[in-house]
């Protein structure tokens, strides 16, 4: 059995906590909308709301536990800036880093995103590398992947800074009711010692 996730991870500029509360839901909704590229009008017309976020996260957690009953399971870190003038207190939420597993024939995966105004300041690398370090060094997780759209240049570059290497691709089927429901190709990024994935299809 893997040891439990830390509830608190800190870096020079950020504090990550694995404990989203109902007060975080509006922020998480904005973040998810940004990551799915949904306009306000589209999310209204399709009735996306904070309940969609709760359902989405609950489903990810449930599937992770089913896919890896003895693995690290699921964590969802909210990434916050350190509060100004009080270095040890978490301040404004700017993004999240999730650790999950999509299906039994895939390794533990990192998913991440920041609100638009916080892109391009190095926060992504700082947050995701701290979670990856925790996974590998503290929890002993040897195999980790990230799935990234070929056009997502910033995320591909971030994966490179984490030491992940592109190794194959996978088809992702959209989740009905959340993403478009179509099929999209994702590049698979793995740690250098890992073998190419056998899975060729997965779910959003």
User: Which residues contribute to the site for ligand COA (CB under 6 A)?
Assistant: 35, 112-114, 119-125, 148, 152, 154-155, 157-158
**Which one, 79 or 139, has the nearer CB to ligand COA?**
79
**Sign of the C-alpha dihedral computed for residues 51, 52, 57 and 62 taken in this order:** positive
Q: Least distance (Å) from ligand COA to the CB of residue 3? A: 26
**Which one, 116 or 176, has the nearer CB to ligand COA?**
116
Q: Least distance (Å) from ligand COA to the CB of residue 116? A: 8
Q: Least distance (Å) from ligand COA to the CB of residue 90? A: 18
Separation CA 75–CA 154 (nearest Å): 23
**Which one, 4 or 122, has the nearer CB to ligand COA?**
122
The single-letter DSSP state of residue 135 is I
The single-letter DSSP state of residue 43 is H
CA 8 to chain centre: 16
CA 58 to chain centre: 14
For 178, the 3-state DSSP assignment is coil
**Which one, 11 or 52, has the nearer CB to ligand COA?**
11
């Amino acid at each position: 059995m893997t040891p439990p996730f830390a509830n608190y991870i800190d870096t020079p500029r950020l504090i990550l906590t694995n404990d989203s509360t109902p007060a975080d839901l509006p922020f998480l909704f904005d973040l998810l909308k940004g990551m799915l590229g949904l306009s306000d009008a589209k999310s209204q017309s399709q009735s996306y709301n904070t309940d969609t976020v709760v359902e989405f996260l609950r489903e990810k957690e449930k599937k992770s536990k089913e896919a890896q009953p003895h693995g690290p399971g699921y964590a969802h870190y909210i990434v916050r800036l350190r509060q100004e003038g009080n270095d040890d207190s978490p301040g404004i939420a700017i993004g999240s880093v999730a650790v999950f597993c999509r299906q039994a024939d895939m390794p533990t995966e990192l998913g991440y995103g920041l609100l638009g105004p916080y892109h391009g300041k190095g926060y992504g690398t700082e947050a995701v590398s701290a979670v990856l370090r925790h996974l590998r060094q503290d929890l002993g997780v040897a195999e980790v992947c990230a799935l990234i759209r070929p056009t997502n240049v910033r995320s591909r570059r971030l994966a490179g800074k984490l030491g992940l290497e592109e190794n194959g691709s996978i088809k992702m089927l959209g989740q009905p009711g959340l993403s478009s429901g179509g099929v999209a190709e994702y590049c698979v990024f793995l740690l250098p010692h890992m073998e190419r994935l056998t899975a060729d299809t997965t779910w959003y």
